[in-house]
Structure 1
Amino acid sequence: MAESTPSVGHEYDPEADHNFPDERLNAILPELLSDPEIETYLEAQNVNAVTRKGYNDHGPKHIEIVRNRALNLYDLLKGGDVAFNGAADQGLDEADEAVIVALAATLHDIGHVVHRDEHAYYSIPLASDVLDRILAGFDFYDVRDAVRVKSEVLHAILCHHTEEDPLTTEAGVIRVADALDMERGRSRIPYEKGGRGINTLSSQAIENVTLKPGDGRPVLVEIEMINAAGVYQVDNLLKAKLHNSGLEKHVRIVAVNTKADADDQLVERIEL
């Protein structure tokens, strides 16, 4: 395991040094990115979410963003010596933590193919079948370990939904990473179709989200807004995901209105 300060960026780089053992993750990740069944699920899950319900993009781009944010968040937390209990409680290796995070981030929304409403619960049986097949392809997982990894992935998938509180740090990472997909591109589909709801308008106000090592806490999330509407995205949505995630003490969130003027000082800066 190489000790390093993770580079600030939006994409997980398998070639970079990380604060965790990354060999298993780097072996599995190419399979996740090229598997035809997974690719089709990620495309199909946008039909109910966007085409039929008019929600934000929940397809391949959303999953790519959440997976990268989750792995960057995990890396920063590991660099800050935050304890992870999901794999450990199952008697799995530290190297399995990142695998759990990547798998859960990739599959957390596939329940949308059944229905947008209550999709976290529909994701469980669908992800279970995919996980059985994917994990069986790697010789570092026997049947017992594959079941334990699968159990932790399913828990993390379920708990990205705010109705269920995460019982593991890995699940908390997925919950928060899901909310960190909040930049302007997040709402591009409903906005272009004429959507003007507060969620859509608020997403349009978020210019940039950056994760970096914090001062006093392992993670600093910096959010740049271009108008006051971004407050809804930060205070109502991200705050709700961070609450009861288990990461509250480890993540500092600062949002700055870069276009604030004299009439907009009340929302010039907010901090969670």
Structure 2
Amino acid sequence: MSRLDDDTRRYDPTAAHAFPDERLNGVLDAIAADEEIQAYLEAQNVNPVQRKGYNDHGAKHIEIVRDRALCLYDLLKEHDVEFNGAREQGLDEADEAVVVALAATLHDIGHVVHRDDHPYYSIPLAADILERFLPAFYDTTERVKLTGEILHAILCHHTEETPLTLEAGVVRVADALDMERGRSRIPYERGGRGINTLSSQAIEGVALTSDDDRVVVEIEMRNAAGVYQVDELLTAKLRDSGLESHVRVVALNSHDGDGDDQLVERIEL
């Protein structure tokens, strides 16, 4: 795949974007400087990784998910996709990316309570943070509306609840786009051989690109175990996200050897 080495997965605040980005960039600076948020991003990794032997859910995971959520959002805006969350609340277009960024940042903080059912624990913790964080940017009425949209996106990232906004759909899909082998390094080195760990070890890279009609998620696998990440995790999150008609997934097996791995050369969803 020609673009996996390109910078197609990181949000660059200095670049030109298909949406008004000044408000978002100010929020991102504030997130980086917020001591409480940063403490949560460190603490939330203990239960899933150290105690459950699961893949990374800490600061690096959050950085990747937020970057890919914003890149996905930007590409969708380039395709003139109309987002509904902020708009239906009477908020500005500039607030769409703020919803995406804050939901992506706070979606996993419930892990400090428990890995199981963590989105439900994330809701009250994120609400407390937003009550303190948002007044620097919004008045009371705007804060109430924005908080609701952010919490909706957090709830829908890993639950049976169907996203009702495209902003929530972006966060849901972006959460599954952190699938490369580096995410499972710690549990793998500790002997973890569950399907999440093994399938993540098979993923070499993920890139976000575009064709004439849709955003394209390009995934490079080194063996067929990566099919689980693509078909069971990413496809499951894309389903009912609201983005199904706007996103195409292409996975290629880059392994050059012989054997069963060659049974899976290309998957297109």
Same fold by TM-score greater than 0.5: yes
Equivalent residues in 2 for 1:150-165, closer than 5 Å: 150-165=147-162
TM-score normalised according to structure 1 size? 0.94
Equivalent residues in 2 for 1:17-166, closer than 5 Å: 17-138=16-137, 141-166=138-163
- Cα distance in 2 for partners of 1:101, 1:29 equals 11
Aligned to 2:3: none
Is 2:182 aligned against 1:185? yes
Give the alignment partner of residue 250 of structure 1, picking from 226, 246, 250. 246
- Cα distance in 1 for partners of 2:236, 2:146 equals 27
Moved more, 102-111 or 185-194: 185-194
Aligned to 1:15: 14
- Cα shift at 1:189: 1.3
Contact kept in structure 1, 2:119 and 2:159, CA below 8 Å? no
Equivalent residues in 2 for 1:172-211, closer than 5 Å: 172-211=169-208
- Cα shift at 1:208: 0.5
Tell me the amino acid that sits aligned with residue 20 of structure 1.
F
SS at match of 2:192: coil
- Cα distance in 2 for partners of 1:214, 1:188 equals 33
SS at match of 1:16: coil
| Amino-acid identity (%) | 73
Contact kept in structure 2, 1:221 and 1:251, CA below 8 Å? yes
- Cα distance in 1 for partners of 2:212, 2:185 equals 33
- Cα distance in 2 for partners of 1:143, 1:192 equals 48
- Cα distance in 1 for partners of 2:105, 2:179 equals 17
- Cα distance in 1 for partners of 2:56, 2:7 equals 25
Tell me the amino acid that sits aligned with residue 233 of structure 1.
Q
TM-score normalised according to structure 2 size? 0.95
SS at match of 1:223: strand
Unaligned runs of 5+ in 1: 1-6
- Cα distance in 1 for partners of 2:211, 2:168 equals 21
- Cα shift at 1:215: 3.2
- Cα shift at 1:52: 1.1
Contact kept in structure 2, 1:214 and 1:252, CA below 8 Å? no
Unaligned runs of 5+ in 2: 1-5
SS at match of 1:72: helix
CA RMSD of aligned residues (A): 1.1
Tell me the amino acid that sits aligned with residue 37 of structure 2.
I
Contact kept in structure 2, 1:260 and 1:268, CA below 8 Å? no
- Cα shift at 1:261: 4.6
- 1:42-94 Cα offsets, whole Å, 9 max, x none, are 11101111111111110000000000000000000000011100000100000
Is 2:222 aligned against 1:226? yes
- Cα shift at 1:11: 1.5
- 1:96-139 Cα offsets, whole Å, 9 max, x none, are 0000000000000000011110000000000001011110112x
Structure 1 moving runs of 4+ over 6 Å: none
